[in-house]
Structure 1
Amino acid sequence: MASGVVNIRRDVDDKFYRYRMPLLMTKIEGKGNGIKTVIPNMSDVARALSRPPTYPTKFFGSELGAQTSIDEKNDRFIVNGAHDAVRLRELLDAFIDKFVLCGACKNPETDLILTKNEMIVRDCKACGVRSNVDMRHKLTTYIVKNPPKKKGKRKKGEHAEAPSPAGLDGNGSGENGRGSPDDDDEGGGTDDELTRRLKAEAAELNPEATLEKEDWSADTSPEAVKARMGALQAGVAGLTLGNEDDSDEDADSPYSQLGRWVQENREASAVEVFKKVQELGLEKKHKAVQVLAQTLLTENALVEIPKYAPVFVKMISSEKHQKSLLGGIERLAGLTHPELIPAIPKILMAFYQVDVLDEEVVKQWGTHVSKKYVDKDTSKKVRKASEPFLKWLDEADDDDDDEDDD
């Protein structure tokens, strides 16, 4: 049976659910008392769950009352006895529920943390909640003795490798990782190769763009379009506060053209947006990041950030770019969509998770009120709303320091 891909939460019947994993596969080997069930793709499944493959393997053994055999060097994960694939998938769902999903928001984007008093906590990167694991389960003893490998603290300029959505990776070669528009093409694809790939992916993404437009696009009635255009023009007029040069205030500047195009093409995919940025010659301009943050995103920002993340990943290559992104977020939530103020921590987390915001930059921004992008009161309001995320960053640092001391 060929391996497929399924939702991590298999109770979510949505083929566009962003959290996916390989379908757990099994292979029966041996006979009689030596019969055993091999899980050939356990490493791939565990990687999708951000857990060591030993954890679900030991979980299976605990639930089935069976011995397990683990050979990580040769990627062999075995549960003694003959076990049906369907049964192991059900147990995997139980493992995910107990040791992966956030106890609050049920998001699988969590890390396991072992506290000083040997309690296991699921640290959610989506909502910031830390929920305790049920320590009565037998697997917890194994986890305490074999804690997750500590993730190194990210410093400025360091980013975890992750697949770039829509293929907009930084080096133009389709590999994981983040590059910058200023990077040389050594070892990467040429501009022609990038263009060809973008065209191919744009064709593949068109059906999704249609679905997104149908489900949650902005109101396209004449009255709504007129109102948004008015707001856009007012916003673009103020885009140059402290940015680049004053000549860009012209309504025909590339920035104004980009803002108008985004407003008029709400159904555009990430690939199409980036191609427009390239067409206007703005792929290296930090102010273009600000324009996109305040015009590309709407009141549905938390849904739109994953969709357009590759554009920001491709364009943000310096601290100045990151500050422009934060300025765009200030204008988005502070002026255009004030209803997003309570969601500021989640918005920052979403960008932080795709490695376009560095910890030091966010902390500096969050503790220094500025009138560069919005008025002082609005600036204070946005930063006040960001406090839960800033607190989470500090606590994560404290945990790292404590573990270093231990």
Structure 2
Amino acid sequence: MSINICRDNLDPFYRYKMPPILSKIEGRGNGIKTAIVNNADVAKALSRPPMYVTKFFGLELGAQTSVNESTDRYMVNGAHDAAKLQDLLDVFIQKFVLCKECKNPETDIVITRDQMLYRDCKACGKRSPIDIRHKLAGVILKNPPVTAGKKLTSSKKGSKKSKKDKDNNSNEEDDDAEQADDDNDELAKRIATEASQLPPSQQADDDDDDDDWAVDTSEEAVAARVKELEGQVGAFNIDGDDEAGSDNAYSQLGEWVLEQSSKPSNVEIFKKIKELGIENKHRTLQVLAQSLFDEKILTQIKDRAPLLKKLITSENHEKAFLGGTERFIGLEHPELIPAVPKILHQYYNHDLVSEEVVLKWGSRASKKYVDRDISKKVRKAAQPFLTWLEEAESEESDEDEE
């Protein structure tokens, strides 16, 4: 079982999860202590050293603590139930994890030269100050995280900030905003030529229109799509998950999505996936990439992102999602090949694929999902986006050397 890192957020598709605190009271009398059984797992979910969490509990409770990372033992003197520790963990998350600007937990702690602490957000690029008056701040300064003092990269190259250790003043923020605009403009220019080849009806539109979700629901059209998907899904047998065939869980999922008279909601799809018992399988993402979208994919990714982020939890999930997209475009909608850079850009902006995975995917053609010739066409179309990622990475490496 896992819970949202920000427990105030009740969204079932919230991407950032952590295990709930598990505690065990040991000893009795003056020697009674509380062991935080899964402290390392909780700290890992928060991207913080386990010692920080334990020390924070001790400081807030006025109790001594002991930390032994080699034996995975984290103790707080006294008897403290899990619910109380969970409430204190919420305070730790607010003060030392969540970005103050966007409330995203995807942050790293940065120590500046003048010994100030900041939460550096990889989502929005902002730096949130940490209250240096809190006693844990002294612990962090004496025991800096491994990323402290290093330039940290943003998860979005288009919104990255300079990671040099300098004051977080307004001039720096203005420079960062200008850099973000320049990067996005450069990417837009690179893919403009490719995207212009698409008919106007297939280009992304900021205004959602019910017509974008329209699909031919006639008996003949549904039967044709189901038959097509059966052949595609049945042809896959990734890592021996299941026997290939139209009667397996993956084909059932694909057929169910296509057979609905109207587009099923994210919650409905997730319930169906849970019912089939394939919510953790990377092959599920391959099927969704082929069945969730139609020729209006550029206007549909944003609405499906919460569901997809919930299901994409590893590199294998990302690879399968890209593989399904490759089949969807290469076999079903070759007219979308010029739009591949825009599609990948949206995937990237919505955290559906990481920089490392998409660059590796684009490095060479593969016949795992489609014929090699089709694979080459899709990857060739992706080059403007891949080049932009590589150049952004190269720029950051140059900044590191300086």
**Structure 1-normalised TM-score?**
0.50
Map Cα deviations across residues 178-205 of structure 1 (whole Å, 9 max, x no partner): xxxxxxxxxxxxxxxxxxxxxxxxxxxx
Question: Tell me, what secondary structure is at the counterpart of 2:3?
Answer: strand
Report whether the alignment pairs 1:358 with 2:348: no
Partner of 2:17: 20
- Does structure 2 retain, via aligned residues, the 8 Å contact 1:313–1:356? no
Report whether the alignment pairs 1:60 with 2:57: yes
Cα 1:109/1:396, change in 2 over 3 Å: farther
Partner of 1:130: 126
Report whether the alignment pairs 1:305 with 2:308: yes
1:225 counterpart letter in structure 2? V
Partner of 2:214: 224
Partner of 1:76: 73
**Cα offset, 1:308, TM superposition:** 5.7
Count of residues in Structure 1 that have an aligned counterpart in Structure 2: 290
Q: Describe how 1:198-209 pairs up with structure 2 within 5 A.
A: none
**Cα offset, 1:109, TM superposition:** 3.0
Question: Tell me, what secondary structure is at the counterpart of 1:55?
Answer: helix
Report whether the alignment pairs 1:142 with 2:139: yes
**Cα offset, 1:89, TM superposition:** 1.6
1:351 counterpart letter in structure 2? V
Map Cα deviations across residues 40-64 of structure 1 (whole Å, 9 max, x no partner): 2211221222222111111112223
- Does structure 2 retain, via aligned residues, the 8 Å contact 1:122–1:132? yes
- Does structure 2 retain, via aligned residues, the 8 Å contact 1:61–1:67? yes
Greater mean deviation of Cα atoms: 320-329 or 129-138: 320-329
1:224 counterpart letter in structure 2? A
Q: Describe how 1:295-374 pairs up with structure 2 within 5 A.
A: 295=294, 298-299=300-301, 300-307=303-310, 309=312, 313=316, 316=319, 346-347=349-350, 349-352=351-354, 356-358=357-359
Q: Hey, what's the Cα distance between the residues in 2 that align with 1:143 and 1:326?
A: 48
Report whether the alignment pairs 1:95 with 2:85: no
**Structure 2-normalised TM-score?**
0.50
**Cα offset, 1:117, TM superposition:** 5.1
Cα 1:18/1:72, change in 2 over 3 Å: same
Question: Tell me, what secondary structure is at the counterpart of 2:67?
Answer: strand
**Cα offset, 1:293, TM superposition:** 8.9
Question: Tell me, what secondary structure is at the counterpart of 1:129?
Answer: coil
Report whether the alignment pairs 1:106 with 2:108: no
- Does structure 2 retain, via aligned residues, the 8 Å contact 1:25–1:85? yes
Question: Tell me, what secondary structure is at the counterpart of 1:306?
Answer: helix
Cα 1:359/1:335, change in 2 over 3 Å: closer
Question: Tell me, what secondary structure is at the counterpart of 1:54?
Answer: helix
Partner of 2:203: none
Cα 1:146/1:100, change in 2 over 3 Å: same
Cα 1:51/1:292, change in 2 over 3 Å: farther
Greater mean deviation of Cα atoms: 51-60 or 63-72: 63-72
Partner of 1:169: none
Question: Tell me, what secondary structure is at the counterpart of 2:79?
Answer: coil
**Cα offset, 1:139, TM superposition:** 1.7
Partner of 2:187: none
Q: Describe how 1:151-190 pairs up with structure 2 within 5 A.
A: none
**Cα offset, 1:315, TM superposition:** 8.1
Greater mean deviation of Cα atoms: 102-111 or 304-313: 304-313
Q: Hey, what's the Cα distance between the residues in 2 that align with 1:304 and 1:295?
A: 17
Map Cα deviations across residues 16-50 of structure 1 (whole Å, 9 max, x no partner): 43433222123333444433322122112212222
Partner of 1:7: 4
Question: Tell me, what secondary structure is at the counterpart of 1:316?
Answer: helix
Q: Hey, what's the Cα distance between the residues in 2 that align with 1:71 and 1:304?
A: 38
Partner of 1:365: none
Greater mean deviation of Cα atoms: 49-58 or 105-114: 105-114
Question: Tell me, what secondary structure is at the counterpart of 2:215?
Answer: helix
- Does structure 1 retain, via aligned residues, the 8 Å contact 2:290–2:324? no
1:38 counterpart letter in structure 2? A
Q: Hey, what's the Cα distance between the residues in 2 that align with 1:290 and 1:23?
A: 32
Cα 1:256/1:225, change in 2 over 3 Å: farther
Question: Tell me, what secondary structure is at the counterpart of 2:130?
Answer: coil
Cα 1:398/1:131, change in 2 over 3 Å: farther
1:358 counterpart letter in structure 2? L
1:352 counterpart letter in structure 2? S
Cα 1:293/1:390, change in 2 over 3 Å: farther
**Cα offset, 1:87, TM superposition:** 2.7
Partner of 1:194: none
- Does structure 1 retain, via aligned residues, the 8 Å contact 2:108–2:121? yes
Q: Hey, what's the Cα distance between the residues in 2 that align with 1:393 and 1:326?
A: 29
Q: Hey, what's the Cα distance between the residues in 1 that align with 2:89 and 2:390?
A: 34
- State, as a whole percentage, how many aligned pairs show the same letter: 36
Partner of 2:243: none
Cα 1:321/1:24, change in 2 over 3 Å: closer
Q: Unaligned stretches of 5+ in structure 1?
A: 154-217, 229-235, 237-250, 276-282, 363-371
- Does structure 2 retain, via aligned residues, the 8 Å contact 1:289–1:312? no
Greater mean deviation of Cα atoms: 70-79 or 105-114: 105-114
Cα 1:95/1:221, change in 2 over 3 Å: same
